[in-house]
Chains A and B, each alone.
Chain A
Amino acid sequence: MDQYTLNLLVVGATFALYIGIAIWARAGSTAEFYAAGRGVHPVLNGMATGADWMSAASFISMAGLIAFGGYDSSAYLMGWTGGYVLLAMLLAPYLRKFGKFTVPEFIGDRFYSKAARLVAVICLIIASITYVIGQMTGVGVAFSRFLEVSSSTGLYIGAAIVFAYAVLGGMKGITYTQVAQYVVLIFAYTIPAIFISLQLTGNPIPPLGLFADAKSTGEPLLVTLEGLVTDLGFKSYLTQEDTTLNIFLFTVALMIGTAGLPHVIVRFFTVPRVADARSSAGWALVFIALLYLVAPAVGAMARVNLITTFYPNGTGADALALADIETKSELDWVRNWQKTGLLTVEDKNGDGLIQYVGDKDANELTVNNDIIVLANPEIANLPGWVIALVAAGGLAAALSTAAGLLMAISSAVSHDLIKGQLNPNISEKGELLAARISMGIAIAVATYLGLNPPGFAAQTVALAFGIAAASIFPALMMGIFSKRVNDKGAIAGMLAGLIVTTVYIFLHKGWFFVPDTNSFTDADPLLLSIKSTSFGAVGALINFVVAYVVSSVTEEPPVEVQELVESIRVPKGAGVATGH
């Protein structure tokens, strides 16, 4: 069976599974649509959260970032997992006790202000839309590479699948589909890693293989890799190149950004009890850690394999011949990826060999971060079914995150805008219909943006995290841990964090991401060595300070709001809380 048929079979089978689940898990009430009826077991909820959280960025891009960034990319690993500690201790149990459906709803009730709720809705929609674009383009890339359809056809198929289970099942359909998608994506990620770890180190467990001896040299794998990259003049894999300040702030920004992303927070509304919200965050991290512990091994091993492929006789000998790339069947993957433009080969000095070196002018091979995971099984010459599985895994990661984001957007529109602001008397049936229609519109908008990705798709993820870190996380935390912060303080804080962070990002990435309108670059940033991607941490600090200062010079929140804060701090009585 050829590779194409295999890919089609495996991806087709997973899609049939998702549709089957969608039909089984239809939502009948708003409670089922928004919060899966609060009946999801914490372990299953943790698995769904894992799939929800691990996007195309985690599955496809992260190992590539580590492969080429080495130690400096550790911020992604610590940041995207450490946020769950904050969720478990600072947000999840209290928001579950609060017992309503959306993040803006809590902000609106706690700060007794429709304006605060509206600001939260705006932050949520900007953060989620920018994030969803990346998922949709990821779906397109995976389809065009593995199923040989155009990326727009791929996008339509992907959108139709998400439409089926998200519109029918709401949170309930999404949650159970995500459980299946988690299983697909974790197998797809770890199986090739196990093969490669065995090949390179003889150890079948990739996180242990990373710190084991390489078979080829008898020295530790990381020492071998460090030798290879420094021989070729690349930046060191093990030593720190970025400033400590920037790595520190980037890690903070990713951690609090993770804890502030609405589509992650709402996952903790779907469990039966407050105690389950705490343990569910732990289970979520168990399932996330399975991938995140493997990722650094995948990154390091892929880099070793990439270099040894291009220097078959060692870095001291001749590089790979251009003629070999054009003829040898085990190098098919180089030609396939060349077609996508994500990998380029150019014999600049005309010696018939492809030198892969650190010096940009002499380097003749460029490899995009994003192909490391997808091409990894091919680089290591693994069997065809493993390659098909990776295709299905990439699609599962992108689709599950897209569905979670679309859910957050549609509930913000139907529950916070329509029911909360425009038509409070809407019936449950009417609201359910509105939720489904807004989901349909959100999918259409996301598909359109996926088809016509603004050139800035990659940069906007920084914006999503910046906004979540600088506006949503501090507002939620102060709402729970302070009884003194009032409506004016919260609104002023959120706006200050949002505006300062957005302006800082625009100053470095261009106003509204229009090229050449930036006054600074991340290589030489405005403030110390703080890159725009790390600025969310500073924005959050500004939010906290402004909110406290404004609150302390204005009146205390009303007694009933202070009682609300008292009540969300204790688990007792959580079952009684309702959605309305």
Chain B
Amino acid sequence: MIAQQHANDYWKANLRIILWSLVVWALVSFGFGIILRPMLMGINVGGADLGFWFAQQGSILVFLALIFFYAWRMNRLDREHGVDEV
């Protein structure tokens, strides 16, 4: 039962990290890049607006940061819960 509880804690922590990461993922692409773009029209980036920048460049940079953050954070979580490999 203790092992079971432990595994559940690990999984719940993982789900929380995924959830917050996906909130950021959606915010920069679907949010800033598409739905919220009209609100960001006033902010000029190199001749275009901030929403255009997020749609064609910014979102990709954030995606990269997110994956490496997730990999780093999960490696730490694996060790904290003693479920890492070797």
Contacts and interface: CB of A to CB of B under 8 A. Distances in A.
Q: Is the interface of B mostly helix, strand, loop or mixed?
A: helix
A211 B83 contact: no
Contacts of A17: none
A89 B47 contact: no
Contacts of B82: 572
Contact of B46 (A220, A247, A292): A220
A74 B45 CA distance: 16
A275 B74 contact: yes
A296 B64 CA distance: 17
B13 to A, nearest CB: 11
Interface in B17-33: 18, 21-22, 25, 29-30, 33
**Interface bracket on B:** 35 or more
A82 B48 contact: no
A293 B14 CA distance: 30
B7 A281 contact: no
B85 interface: yes
B48 to A, nearest CB: 5
A251 B32 CA distance: 13
**Interface bracket on A:** 35 or more
B39 interface: no
A527 to B, nearest CB: 19
Given A569-B11, A572-B83, A85 B67 contact: yes
A512 interface: no
7 tightest CB-CB pairs across the interface, nearest first? A211-B46, A220-B47, A74-B55, A222-B47, A282-B67, A278-B71, A223-B47
Interface of B: 7, 10-11, 14, 18, 21-22, 25, 29-30, 33-35, 37, 45-49, 52-53, 55-57, 59-61, 63-64, 66-68, 70-71, 74-75, 78, 82-86
Interface of A: 66, 71, 74, 77-78, 81-82, 84-85, 88-90, 93, 207, 210-212, 219-224, 226, 238, 240, 244, 247-248, 251-252, 273-275, 278-279, 281-282, 285-286, 289, 292-293, 296, 566, 569-575
23 contacts: A71-B52, A71-B55, A74-B55, A77-B59, A77-B60, A78-B55, A82-B59, A82-B63, A84-B63, A85-B21, A85-B63, A89-B21, A211-B46, A220-B46, A244-B35, A248-B35, A275-B85, A286-B64, A293-B57, A570-B83, A572-B83, A572-B84, A575-B86
